[in-house]
A = this chain, B = another copy of it.
Amino acid sequence: MKLKIFFIISSLLYAIEGLPQSNKSPLDIVEMGSFHIGGKLVEITGKPIKEVVFSPGSAPAKIDPNGKYLVEQMYVQYFVPKVQKAKIPILLWHGGGLTGVTYETTPDGREGWQQYFIRSGWRTYVSDAVERGRSGWASSDIWSGEPQFLTVENPWNRFRIGPGAWSEDPAQRTQYEGSQFPADGYLNFMRQIVPRWTTTDGATLAAYLELVDKVCPCVVLVHSQGGQFGQKVAQARPDKVKALVLVEPAGFGDPEKAASLKNTPILEIYGDYIDRDSRWPNIRKTQQELNKKYKDAGASIDVINLPEIGIKGNSHMMMMDRNNLQIADIINDWLRVKGFTTK
């Protein structure tokens, strides 16, 4: 109820004043850098030595595949704005088959949530989960399972951009009416997709825990598959993860550890077209059932179904949709109400 009144007031203010000034604030980054965290050494033995010519014309290098490999580390990039309005940093964790690029740009080349949160005065950390992007990945000698590759046809439907598969022929693909996804840039979005294992969750969780131990207390914002990592890490480090923003979580926390989130305010956001999708009603329901356990233990959870507050047309990739900054405003406003940032 408090949340609804907050949104009515916020919406009125937006209508009068336009979008909050924070969006237009300069980036003014005074410090940036990156690091890799975590990982472990794994030894391989009994393989023959190889000669490899790494570049045409260069001398062959003897490569002994036996030895120790450093695997399951995670890449993190961070930015510090000149004017810090938030007391603690925000960590942006992407979904499955993607990397931190999720938050850096949109398929039509606008700014993403990364720049939004920096402009809004947050020290902002964007990472590539284990196995993805700049985190690197391990050979089949070390990891079980095999990577999954997505066709360009597949995510169009699965990420709720349109009712069927994507087709190279514009006449053969349909976008949901009112969709906010910048569909002309769909292939730019597909350029961001990276291979995905389904057997590396434990390693990913371990790396996120190390990250939280290094840079938090913090706010953690996760998307999709990241729902699992965000909730489980917050459950393991309730003193470090001060608030949790779950953007269409498709992975979940541990119901047995529901009580550990009793002091962690949680915001959950869902987009449009969920009732027309074959998977999303169940995925949302699973989280809502878990929410009951969190609430029974005393947790504070705000669930926003965007169409219910008049924001329509959002896909699963709402941080890239045309109204991506409107949704970021909702998140930033919620974090301000919770006391994490000043106007």
Contacts and interface: CB of A to CB of B under 8 A. Distances in A.
A68 B151 contact: yes
Contact of A28 (B28, B133, B136, B165): B28
How many copies of this kind of chain does the complex include?
2
A32 B29 contact: yes
Contacts of A324: none
A196 B63 CA distance: 13
Range class of the A interface residue count:
35 or more
A54 B136 contact: no
A266 to B, nearest CB: 18
A144 interface: no
Contacts of A84: none
A342 interface: no
Interface string A219-253: 00000010110000000000000000000001110
Interface string A94-106: 0011011100110
Interface stretch (A8-16, A183-191, A297-305, A329-337): A183-191
A149 B65 contact: yes
A198 interface: yes
Interface in A41-61: 41, 44, 52-59, 61
Interface stretch (A85-93, A152-160, A311-319): A152-160
A89 to B, nearest CB: 17
A192 interface: yes
A3 interface: no
Nearest to A283: B58
Contacts of A196: 54
A33 interface: yes
Contacts of A33: 104-105, 109, 111, 115
